[in-house]
Protein backbone atom coordinates (compact mmCIF):
# COMPACT_ATOMS: atom_id res chain seq x y z
CA UNK A 1 0.00 0.00 0.00
CA UNK A 2 2.83 2.35 0.83
CA UNK A 3 4.57 1.58 -2.44
CA UNK A 4 1.40 2.48 -4.37
CA UNK A 5 1.03 5.79 -2.50
CA UNK A 6 4.72 6.57 -3.04
CA UNK A 7 4.41 5.80 -6.75
CA UNK A 8 1.32 8.04 -7.12
CA UNK A 9 2.85 10.96 -5.21
CA UNK A 10 6.14 10.76 -7.10
CA UNK A 11 4.26 10.61 -10.42
CA UNK A 12 2.35 13.78 -9.53
CA UNK A 13 5.57 15.54 -8.50
CA UNK A 14 7.26 14.60 -11.77
CA UNK A 15 4.25 15.77 -13.82
CA UNK A 16 4.17 19.05 -11.86
CA UNK A 17 7.88 19.69 -12.45
CA UNK A 18 7.61 18.95 -16.20
CA UNK A 19 4.60 21.29 -16.51
CA UNK A 20 6.46 24.00 -14.59
CA UNK A 21 9.54 23.79 -16.86
CA UNK A 22 7.37 23.77 -19.98
CA UNK A 23 5.47 26.85 -18.82
CA UNK A 24 8.72 28.68 -17.96
CA UNK A 25 10.15 27.90 -21.40
CA UNK A 26 6.97 29.12 -23.10
CA UNK A 27 7.04 32.38 -21.12
CA UNK A 28 10.71 32.87 -21.95
CA UNK A 29 10.00 32.45 -25.69
CA UNK A 30 7.14 34.97 -25.62
CA UNK A 31 9.05 37.74 -23.80
CA UNK A 32 10.52 40.46 -26.06
CA UNK A 33 14.29 40.44 -26.42
CA UNK A 34 15.91 43.12 -24.28
CA UNK A 35 18.99 44.96 -25.52
CA UNK A 36 22.19 44.26 -23.60
CA UNK A 37 22.82 46.63 -20.72
CA UNK A 38 26.22 48.27 -20.41
CA UNK A 39 27.53 47.68 -16.92
CA UNK A 40 29.91 50.26 -15.52
CA UNK A 41 33.14 48.96 -14.02
CA UNK A 42 33.31 48.75 -10.25
CA UNK A 43 34.46 51.90 -8.48
CA UNK A 44 37.81 51.94 -6.77
CA UNK A 45 38.14 53.06 -3.16
CA UNK A 46 39.89 56.23 -4.32
CA UNK A 47 36.91 57.19 -6.50
CA UNK A 48 34.48 56.57 -3.64
CA UNK A 49 36.33 58.86 -1.22
CA UNK A 50 36.80 61.80 -3.59
CA UNK A 51 33.93 62.64 -5.90
CA UNK A 52 34.97 64.52 -9.04
CA UNK A 53 34.47 68.26 -8.75
CA UNK A 54 33.59 68.79 -12.39
CA UNK A 55 30.49 66.55 -12.17
CA UNK A 56 28.66 68.96 -9.81
CA UNK A 57 26.85 71.66 -11.79
CA UNK A 58 27.39 75.26 -10.79
CA UNK A 59 24.56 77.09 -9.03
CA UNK A 60 23.00 79.86 -11.09
CA UNK A 61 23.39 83.39 -9.80
CA UNK A 62 19.67 84.14 -9.60
CA UNK A 63 17.20 81.44 -8.65
CA UNK A 64 13.75 81.72 -10.22
CA UNK A 65 11.16 82.84 -7.64
CA UNK A 66 8.16 81.22 -9.28
CA UNK A 67 7.46 77.61 -8.49
CA UNK A 68 5.27 75.74 -10.89
CA UNK A 69 2.09 74.40 -9.29
CA UNK A 70 0.80 71.00 -10.34
CA UNK A 71 -2.50 71.09 -12.23
CA UNK A 72 -5.61 70.74 -10.02
CA UNK A 73 -7.03 67.25 -9.72
CA UNK A 74 -10.31 66.54 -11.44
CA UNK A 75 -13.15 65.52 -9.06
CA UNK A 76 -13.82 61.82 -9.03
CA UNK A 77 -16.89 59.83 -8.13
CA UNK A 78 -15.46 59.23 -4.64
CA UNK A 79 -15.69 62.98 -3.90
CA UNK A 80 -19.42 63.13 -4.69
CA UNK A 81 -20.63 60.83 -1.86
CA UNK A 82 -23.22 62.29 0.48
CA UNK A 83 -24.74 60.67 3.55
CA UNK A 84 -28.52 60.18 3.53
CA UNK A 85 -29.88 58.98 6.89
CA UNK A 86 -33.44 58.30 5.68
CA UNK A 87 -34.48 54.74 6.39
CA UNK A 88 -31.39 54.00 8.49
CA UNK A 89 -31.42 53.45 12.25
CA UNK A 90 -30.13 56.17 14.55
CA UNK A 91 -26.73 54.97 15.86
CA UNK A 92 -27.01 57.16 18.98
CA UNK A 93 -30.39 55.86 20.16
CA UNK A 94 -30.05 53.16 22.85
CA UNK A 95 -31.29 49.67 22.05
CA UNK A 96 -33.04 49.30 25.41
CA UNK A 97 -35.33 51.92 26.90
CA UNK A 98 -35.43 52.08 30.67
CA UNK A 99 -38.90 52.56 32.12
CA UNK A 100 -38.97 54.24 35.52
CA UNK A 101 -41.72 54.26 38.11
CA UNK A 102 -42.44 57.88 37.22
CA UNK A 103 -43.15 56.91 33.59
CA UNK A 104 -45.55 54.17 34.74
CA UNK A 105 -47.38 56.63 37.01
CA UNK A 106 -47.71 59.14 34.16
CA UNK A 107 -49.17 56.45 31.87
CA UNK A 108 -51.66 55.40 34.55
CA UNK A 109 -52.75 59.02 34.99
CA UNK A 110 -53.23 59.37 31.25
CA UNK A 111 -55.30 56.18 31.15
CA UNK A 112 -57.50 57.47 34.00
CA UNK A 113 -57.86 60.79 32.19
CA UNK A 114 -58.91 58.95 29.02
CA UNK A 115 -61.57 56.99 30.89
CA UNK A 116 -62.88 60.11 32.60
CA UNK A 117 -62.93 62.32 29.50
CA UNK A 118 -66.40 63.18 28.25
CA UNK A 119 -65.07 63.99 24.76
CA UNK A 120 -64.79 60.88 22.58
CA UNK A 121 -61.85 62.25 20.57
CA UNK A 122 -59.79 62.49 23.78
CA UNK A 123 -60.28 58.87 24.87
CA UNK A 124 -57.60 57.29 22.64
CA UNK A 125 -54.18 58.18 21.28
CA UNK A 126 -54.06 60.32 18.15
CA UNK A 127 -52.46 57.55 16.06
CA UNK A 128 -55.49 55.30 16.72
CA UNK A 129 -57.74 57.53 14.58
CA UNK A 130 -57.94 57.14 10.80
CA UNK A 131 -58.72 60.05 8.48
CA UNK A 132 -61.25 58.72 5.98
CA UNK A 133 -62.29 61.94 4.24
CA UNK A 134 -61.36 65.59 3.70
CA UNK A 135 -63.70 68.16 2.15
CA UNK A 136 -63.51 71.87 1.42
CA UNK A 137 -61.11 74.33 -0.20
CA UNK A 138 -57.81 75.89 0.94
CA UNK A 139 -59.45 78.29 3.37
CA UNK A 140 -62.04 76.02 5.04
CA UNK A 141 -61.43 72.29 5.21
CA UNK A 142 -63.15 69.64 7.28
CA UNK A 143 -61.75 66.15 7.90
CA UNK A 144 -63.63 63.05 9.02
CA UNK A 145 -61.85 60.73 11.49
CA UNK A 146 -62.81 57.16 12.34
CA UNK A 147 -61.99 55.46 15.64
CA UNK A 148 -61.51 51.75 16.42
CA UNK A 149 -65.23 51.21 17.04
CA UNK A 150 -66.07 52.53 13.51
CA UNK A 151 -67.56 55.83 14.74
CA UNK A 152 -66.96 58.99 12.71
CA UNK A 153 -66.01 62.44 14.06
CA UNK A 154 -65.52 65.78 12.28
CA UNK A 155 -62.12 67.49 12.63
CA UNK A 156 -61.71 71.24 12.20
CA UNK A 157 -58.67 73.42 12.84
CA UNK A 158 -58.51 73.82 16.63
CA UNK A 159 -60.28 70.53 17.48
CA UNK A 160 -58.76 68.73 20.48
CA UNK A 161 -57.83 65.10 19.86
CA UNK A 162 -55.76 62.43 21.62
CA UNK A 163 -54.53 61.82 25.15
CA UNK A 164 -51.69 64.34 25.18
CA UNK A 165 -53.62 67.60 24.72
CA UNK A 166 -53.46 67.27 20.95
CA UNK A 167 -54.87 70.01 18.76
CA UNK A 168 -55.49 70.05 15.00
CA UNK A 169 -53.31 72.85 13.62
CA UNK A 170 -53.67 72.27 9.87
CA UNK A 171 -55.83 70.31 7.45
CA UNK A 172 -54.27 69.74 4.05
CA UNK A 173 -55.68 68.04 0.95
CA UNK A 174 -54.28 64.63 1.92
CA UNK A 175 -53.39 64.82 5.64
CA UNK A 176 -54.25 66.29 9.02
CA UNK A 177 -51.47 67.69 11.21
CA UNK A 178 -51.96 67.43 14.98
CA UNK A 179 -49.68 69.05 17.55
CA UNK A 180 -49.42 67.20 20.88
CA UNK A 181 -47.89 68.31 24.17
CA UNK A 182 -46.87 65.04 25.84
CA UNK A 183 -44.03 66.91 27.51
CA UNK A 184 -43.21 70.62 27.42
CA UNK A 185 -41.90 70.17 23.87
CA UNK A 186 -44.52 70.02 21.11
CA UNK A 187 -44.70 66.88 18.96
CA UNK A 188 -46.34 66.78 15.52
CA UNK A 189 -48.45 63.81 14.50
CA UNK A 190 -49.50 63.45 10.86
CA UNK A 191 -52.68 61.54 10.06
CA UNK A 192 -52.72 60.68 6.36
CA UNK A 193 -55.91 60.24 4.38
CA UNK A 194 -56.73 56.55 3.80
CA UNK A 195 -57.91 55.94 0.25
CA UNK A 196 -59.62 52.56 0.53
Instruction: Say if 179 falls within a structural domain.
Output: yes
Q: What is the pLDDT of residues 66-86, one digit of tens each?
A: 667 766 666 555 567 777 888
Spell out where the chain has E strands: 130-136, 141-146, 152-155, 160-161, 166-171, 175-180, 187-192
Number of domains in the chain: 1
Is the residue at 139 inside a domain?
Answer: yes
Q: Is residue 155 part of a domain?
A: yes
**Mean pLDDT, to the nearest integer, of 127-141?**
91
With respect to residue 54, please indicate whether it lies within any of the assigned structural domains. Answer: no
**Cα 127 from Cα 162, distance rounded (Å):** 8
- Residue 129 included in any domain: yes
Between residues 2 and 155, the one the model is more confident about: 155
Q: What is the pLDDT of residues 6-58, one digit of tens each?
A: 999 999 999 988 988 888 877 666 656 566 556 566 666 555 655 555 555 55
pLDDT number for residue 117 = 73
CA distances from 24 to 34, 36, 113, 115 (A): 17, 21, 89, 90
Residue 37 has, within 13 A of its CA and on its CB side, a CA count of 4
pLDDT the model gives residue 38: 62
Is residue 43 in a domain? no
Q: 109-117 long-range CB contacts below 8 Å, 24 or more apart?
A: 110/163, 110/164, 113/163, 114/163
Range of 142's domain? Answer: 120-192
Note the pLDDT tens digit of each residue in 85-119.
Answer: 888 888 888 888 888 888 888 778 777 776 777 78
140-183 confidence digits (pLDDT tens)? 999 999 998 999 999 999 999 988 889 999 999 999 999 998 77
Please report, for the domain that includes residue 131, its CATH number: 2.30.30.830
Q: Examine residue 79 and state whether it is found in any structural domain, yes or no.
A: no
- The predicted structure's pLDDT at residue 179: 94
Amino acid sequence: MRKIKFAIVSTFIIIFMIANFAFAAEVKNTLPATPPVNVAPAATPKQIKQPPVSSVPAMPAAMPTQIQQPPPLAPTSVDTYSYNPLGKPDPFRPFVTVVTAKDIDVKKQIAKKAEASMFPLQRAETEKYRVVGIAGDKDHRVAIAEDASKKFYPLLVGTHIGLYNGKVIEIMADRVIVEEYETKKAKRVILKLRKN
